[in-house]
A and B are shown apart, each in its own frame.
Chain A
Amino acid sequence: MTAPLLQVKGLKKHFPLRGGLLQRVVDHVHAVDGVSFELAAGETLGLVGESGCGKSTTGRCVLRLIEPTAGEVLFEGRDVGAMGGEEMRALARDMQIIFQDPFASLNPRMTVGAIVGEGLVIHKLANNARAIEERVAQLLQTVGLSADQMRRYPHEFSGGQRQRIGIARALAVNPKLVVCDEAVSALDVSIQAQVINLLEDLRTQFNLTYIFIAHDLSVVEHISHRVAVMYLGRIVEVAPSRDLYTSPKHPYTEALLSAVPIPDPTVARKRVVLQGDVPSPIRPPPGCHFHPRCPRAQAQCKVEAPVLRELAPGHVAACHFPN
């Protein structure tokens, strides 16, 4: 068996909270609190959860856009955290990110050609202006734009087209892993479907591996091979995407799935409505983070944090009393 493309082990990110007159560190936000997962080449792993669950921070820690507090990220067996500047720059070619906001993530003063071509210049992937232009033209066509649009500026494009520009920029350096951080969340559904289809085509065409981060479970389930559900900085369940929907093991996953509105009025469903809100990640509840809202919580859940264990082939959950 081949080694996984990416291994994440015990990843933690605690953001310091400063307060008082001297702005001393008074507390920490436990954004990511011990996350481990693996990813095979060509696979798409979905990362879902509600606001503040740490899914975006996890994605950024993998790329080292944020320095993790603890834990290891291994890319093709090499420890990303231990890499120096030169090595890290080389790695940046292999790992790219597509952001959510197609309005904020493109420099308004650069032409589309300059945005898409920037990576080629930085990584010296094309040695003259002509070669860069040819490659940019080819990339724009790959993502469904036309080559003559490279001299235009981002404001001349719609939201969906801008997201295509962001995808072309990520693809320019022939990455192996692409982190899609809410890449289709800001788009209207008809446009969202265009971009999802494009991402699926590109995966096959270039043998890409995706970490697909989103809060929309339907989108994640559609595009991913496997889905990891996060709650308050921890992964509570990982399963092949169909299994996750048909037989969720963790009560949080169950509630999350039952809350997704189904666009079919004839589907009658039993909804598990969770009481209350997600607690603060500054002082997460002891034991299982989910116990204050859990309909199945017992005394054990309040003191002992459950670990991920395999309940069915390829299906793990962190719950003392799983389904």
Chain B
Amino acid sequence: MALLEIKGLKTHFKTDDGWLHAVDGVDIAIDRSETVGIVGESGCGKSVTAKTVLKLIDMPPGKIVAGQVLWKGRDLVPLGPEEMQKIRAKEISIIFQEPMTSLNPVYTVGEQIAESLRLHEGLSRKDALDRAVDMLKLVRIPTPERRVRDYPHQFSGGMRQRVMIAIALACKPQLVIADEPTTALDVTIQAQILDLLAQLKDEMGMAVMLITHAMGVVAEVAQRVVVMYAGKVVEEAPVRELFAHPRHPYTQGLIRSIPRIDLDAQHKVRLEAIPGTVPKLIEPAEGCRFAARCKYAVAACVQATPPLREAAPGHKVACILDVAS
């Protein structure tokens, strides 16, 4: 049994113009100790999917219209706020993109790490603060005994993201959802944080759901990759397989549109841009949502939504054509 199994999930939002189908029938499974990358561009639904797992969506305007979120076999969708509280931070925790807005500016970082320890593990204030020092040490923050009493504004961006990781890992969750954890950081700091996450994953053995728009980050961190487009999963494969043999025209386009610093000039070709823009997701019509931008599209593409099918062992694609890469 998968640790987390998202089945047919649909999260829609009510807007003035109608229902926005942000997540529109998504299936993703994550095994124990596995790192799965969810990649896609702005508005593809990757973040909403992650937030729906922990029910961090404002409802209304959001609504889980259909589907299940099976956590170790138990569906989280019908659970009330108290029951979700027992799962958040304790069993599944989340690291957000912007460490400044997700930390509380009026509490010390020690108190913020201690909060979930006191709530979930019933530790006393003093014991929880001692554990907070251990957690800061774990995320390689220098002089943790002193820094535990500092406030978020006294930390740099990279250090704040380390604090966020310390909070997320304090109760030793089995799954960490990292929602664009390095997007706001400079590239050398990003490298530090990605290395740290990989080391901690090896030490603690949790599963990681890494949400990112950066194909480079996915290539370096994930074992398996899920590509999303316009609220749907369009492709899923082990990481090497995905980059070596992308099967969906969107994945292929995405890989070819990135400038490659590691390639020699003679290999360097003009970037292959994907024409057009992402479709509007307000009550979308049937059919493949990528068809309008797809150079291979045929009439059948817009008649029915292509199902996610297994094209090779462990390699799924939602495309009716067999487009060789």
Known A-B contacts A189-B41, A190-B254, A217-B261; A263 and B216 likewise in contact (beta carbons under 8 Å) = yes
Q: Enumerate chain B residues within 8 angstroms of A263, measured Cβ to Cβ.
A: 215-216, 218-219, 243, 255, 258, 260
Measured between C-beta atoms, what is the minimum distance from B221 to chain A in Å?
Answer: 8
Closest residue of chain A to B268 (Cβ to Cβ) is A222
A191 within 8 Å of B (CB atoms) = yes
A50, B186: Cα distance in complex, Å: 6
Measured between C-beta atoms, what is the minimum distance from B145 to chain A in Å?
Answer: 19
Which residues in window 136-188 of A have CB below 8 A to B?
158, 160-161, 188
Closest residue of chain B to A53 (Cβ to Cβ) is B186
| A-B Cβ contacts below 8 A, count | 128
A259 and B244 contact, CB distance less than 8 A? no
Which residues in window 220-279 of A have CB below 8 A to B?
221-223, 242, 245, 255-267, 271, 273-274, 277-278
The interface stretch among A22-30, A87-95, A97-105, A193-201 is A193-201
B187 and A190 contact, CB distance less than 8 A? no
B42 and A188 contact, CB distance less than 8 A? yes
- The 8 Å CB contact of B274, one of A193, A219, A221, is A193
Closest residue of chain A to B239 (Cβ to Cβ) is A265
Known A-B contacts A190-B254, A277-B159; A261 and B265 likewise in contact (beta carbons under 8 Å) = no
A194, B243: Cα distance in complex, Å: 21
Known A-B contacts A189-B215, A194-B275; A266 and B260 likewise in contact (beta carbons under 8 Å) = no
A250, B189: Cα distance in complex, Å: 18
A189 and B190 contact, CB distance less than 8 A? no
Measured between C-beta atoms, what is the minimum distance from A294 to chain B in Å?
Answer: 13
Q: Enumerate chain B residues within 8 angstroms of A256, measured Cβ to Cβ.
A: 187-188
Q: Enumerate chain B residues within 8 angstroms of A298, measured Cβ to Cβ.
A: none
B189 and A196 contact, CB distance less than 8 A? no
A190, B250: Cα distance in complex, Å: 9
Dominant SS among interface residues on chain A: helix
A259 and B273 contact, CB distance less than 8 A? no
Could you mark each residue 194-214 of chain A with 1 if its beta carbon is under 8 Å from any beta carbon of chain B, else 0? 101100100000000000000
Give residues in B with beta carbon < 8 Å to A: 41-42, 156, 158-159, 186-192, 194-195, 213-220, 239-240, 243-244, 253-255, 257-262, 264-265, 268, 270-275, 277-278
Q: List 29 A-B contacts (CB under 8 A).
A: A158-B277, A189-B213, A193-B257, A193-B258, A193-B271, A193-B272, A193-B273, A193-B274, A196-B271, A196-B273, A197-B270, A197-B271, A218-B259, A218-B260, A219-B259, A222-B259, A222-B268, A255-B188, A257-B261, A261-B194, A261-B219, A262-B260, A262-B261, A262-B262, A263-B219, A265-B239, A266-B240, A267-B262, A277-B158
